[in-house]
Structure 1
Amino acid sequence: MRAALRHFLLLLACSALSGPASFAFAGEPRTPHQVIADLRQQMYLIGDTTGSLEEFVQAEQQAGRAIRDTINAGGAARLVEKNREGQTPLMAAAFMGYSRVIDELLKSAEVRKSIDDAGPRGLTAWLYTSMAPRQAMWVCNPKLVESPSSLVPLLATQYYYRLSVENPYRKSRLLLEQAGARPDPDRARQIWHDLCIVHDGLARARIQGARDTLDAVLAEGAESLTRYIAEQHSRIKAAGITESDIGSYTIVDKKGGPGGIEVTLHRTDGKWVMVENDKGATDFRTSSNKELLELVHSFPGDIPLLFEIACIQNAGQAFCRLNKKDDPTKVGYALVRLATGEPIAQSLRRLTPPAKSASSLDALR
């Protein structure tokens, strides 16, 4: 249900991916750059729906097999050609931390021969892995968190980086070093200093003083993201459900279909009342600030950043409305089960049109 909730709500929030789509005509093999671009999209979609580490690994393994097919087909030139950003496939995979793709690329003598080639701003594949862009980009440029279209894809794929047994960037860098890449920690610190001109002064000092830039940026990235999410949560204030929310809803299953449970929200004698599957009615009240903050933790981490959340609740469950911050006309609903220990959020689909408010009814009289 958590996956269905994420999918349903993020459809309202943003469908932008972290890179342009790539296409190959039927029967035409994909280039290594196309394989990596397709993998980026697939990883985003997995993070957007299930967040399953197993699915992340399978997607990366599949991309690795596609790279292997290119090597076996003798496509050496394609393995080292640069894209419009000036990156070789090895650099592009290093930027993303795709260790399984890097492992396959390094089986090519042509790739190993160019392992220390530099791309834009003098960045080699080894330097890309030492910067851990997908886990520390917001440290380098804090303004990134102000752009949902940029932040959401990054947050969605954090499952891959944080759930992996071995950090993808550490594993990628080790593979490069084992294949002969030249470590350059001083250059890594200097590039971070030159490129990341807007980040926090204390973070800059810690990274500059670190023996290993990768360890430092991973730590700063995790701390910065945790702090940012906590700040967003601290701004959450209790808000009320309104008469426009009166109506019937069905729980959505993992495939986006009806989940077999319908709830109907009423307003009776000044109280919120909910009926589930035509059984007895239960009273609800507006959630307090403290309760709302606890409820927010039941949603995927990026949802509170994108939506204003209002809830009513009782001891067993909460009913929540989510309005997209940059477009309040886009609304989602969720039912949060509270009697199961850890709160479990389930997506709701509205079955009836919004009720008219009392003021609008008065205007018609």
Structure 2
Amino acid sequence: MLEIRKCNLRSFALALCCALTATLAKADAPAGQELGALVFKLVANLNEATQATADGDLNQQRAAEQAVANQLRQLISQSPGDPAFRSRDHRWRTPLINAAMRGYADVVEALLSDEGVRQSINTQDGDGVSAWIAAQYARPLTLAACHPQDLTIEAIGLWGPYLQRLRYFALQTPLPFDRIRSALGAAGAKPELDKAKQLWLKQCPEHAPELEPLIEQSSDLMQTLLNDANQRLQGFFADPRKAPKSRQASPGIDSPTNTFPATDPVSDAQSSGAKHTCKNMPKPEWINNAGIPWTGRALFSIDFEVQDGAPVVARVTTLSAKPALPDAIAIEFRAMTLRALGAYRCTGDHLVRQEFEYRMTD
């Protein structure tokens, strides 16, 4: 019999983020706070709404994005220039940065209809990423370039939501990120290619060594990242049997480097951001593919990164095991844990640590 316990779910938000949130909670509500919260909620809700479903043509998903864009245009027409449209979340990102990062071209175009948003188009988040830089990363399409070591048999259950989102964006013509780059350029966004390269390399330290010189020489960072990610995904699915079963190393995920500005002309309607919680957290299901009998207790710590409301990469560390785990059984434990994470639905972008305790009895 397998007994599973999940415990110690907590966010890795930096102390500065927590201090900022606490300060905002105690202060008088700034003008436009309700409107700012609504704008962030509209964009955040698209994360789940644009997941691929039985709608093979993705019409439902496209309609959801267009509906949000229409709502934003209506709000802008009612409150033009309101600071809420350029407010900040807990990562210091504006709605424009979030929409550009997540590939919502309709939403980006709607937000740019506001004069205040256009005037603050070069605003950067806590990591120094502007909307223009975020668009170059095409994040929903290039995860394999950022984390190639996670293309393993063990982690395939975690990649389901990512592959669904990839399909939503990849099947659109023109590519949403091309539309976003064009819209930002037409609105006067400052192109910072060298900075975009430096930040991507810093945020993706596990990139393949052979990719770095290609990035340095690239005049189109997005296309370079797309080419690398596509090549790796095609290679993996062409013959999964040749793929590694698990990661060679399991380092912890570093907390994001946030350098919040002391003052900012557009931060007068800051948002405390989404709460760092996950819902729909199913328990892992045991499938002993290894066929090796084992009884005992094992405790694992999982550090996982949430992007756009879903876990995308994870590091599994064995904290203790009595008796010692055979390698094949350890892989099974990690694989079923990652399958469970693949079904999690969370809010926003953050880093989370969770512990799983497994007890196997006769």
TM range (shorter): 0.5 to 0.7
- Detail structure 1 runs of 4+ shifted over 6 Å in the superposition: none
Cα pair distance change 1:98/1:34, threshold 3 Å: same
Structure 1 position 128 matched with structure 2 position 137: no
Deviations 1:182-230 (A, max 9, x none): 1111111221222221111112222222111011111112112111222
Which residue in the other structure is 2:66 paired with? 61
What is the deviation of 1:142?
Answer: 2.2
Residue 49 of structure 1 aligns with an amino acid whose one-letter code is A
Structure 2 distance, partners of 1:98, 1:155, is 17
SS at match of 1:71: helix
Deviation at 1:68, TM superposition (A): 1.3
Matched, 1:182 2:190: yes
- Who is 1:142 aligned against? 148
Pick closer, same or farther for the CA change 1:77–1:135 going to 2, 3 Å: same
- Relative contact order: is structure 1 or structure 2 higher (C-alpha 8 Å, sep ≥ 6)? 2
The letter of the residue matching 2:45 is D
TM-score, normalised to structure 2's length?
Answer: 0.54
Amino acid at match of 2:44: A
Counterpart position of 2:215 = 207
Identity of aligned residues (%): 24
CA distance in 2, matches of 1:98, 1:201: 31
Does residue 41 in structure 1 map to residue 48 in structure 2? yes
Q: Distance in 2 between matches of 1:99 and 1:201?
A: 32
Contact 2:123-2:130 within 8 A present in 1 as well: yes
Q: Deviations over 1:49-86 (max 9, x none)?
A: 33423233212111101211221231722211111121
8 Å Cα contact 2:68/2:107 also seen in 1: yes
Instruction: State TM-score, norm by structure 1.
Output: 0.54
* Alpha-carbon spacing, 1:57–1:200, altered in 2? closer, same or farther (3 Å): same
Q: Which whole-Å CA distance do the structure 1 matches of 2:122 and 2:158 have between them?
A: 29
| Structure 1 gaps, min length 5 | 1-27, 236-322, 331-365
Q: What SS is found at the alignment partner of 1:31?
A: helix
**Alignment partners' CA distance in 1, 2:119 and 2:201:** 29
Q: Which of 203, 206, 229 is the equivalent residue of 2:237?
A: 229
Contact 1:106 1:179 (C-alpha < 8 Å) held by counterparts: yes
Q: How far apart, CA to CA, are the structure 2 residues paired with 1:115 and 1:71?
A: 16
Over aligned residue pairs, what C-alpha RMSD do you find? 2.7
In 2, distance between residues paired with 1:176 and 1:198? 29
1:160 Cα deviation from its structure 2 partner: 1.6
Aligned length in residues? 214
Alignment of 1:296-311 (within 5 A): none
The DSSP-based 3-state class of the residue aligned with 1:49 is coil
Per-residue CA deviations over 1:80-132 (Å, capped at 9, x if unaligned) read: 11111211000000111111000000000111111000002100000000111
> In 2, are the aligned partners of 1:36 and 1:63 still within 8 Å (CA)?
yes
Return the alpha-carbon distance in structure 2 between the equivalents of residues 217 and 177 of structure 1. Answer: 20
Which structure has the highest helix share of the two? 1
Alpha-carbon separation, structure 2, partners of 1:324 and 1:51: 34
Residue in 2 that maps onto 1:298: none
- 3-state SS, counterpart of residue 240 of structure 2: helix
Pairwise CA distance, 1:149: 6.5
**Max radius of gyration: which structure?**
1
CA change 1:220–1:119 in 2 (3 A) is: same
Structure 2 unaligned blocks of 5 or more? 1-33, 244-331, 340-362
Aligned runs of 1:219-298 on 2, under 5 Å? 219-232=227-240
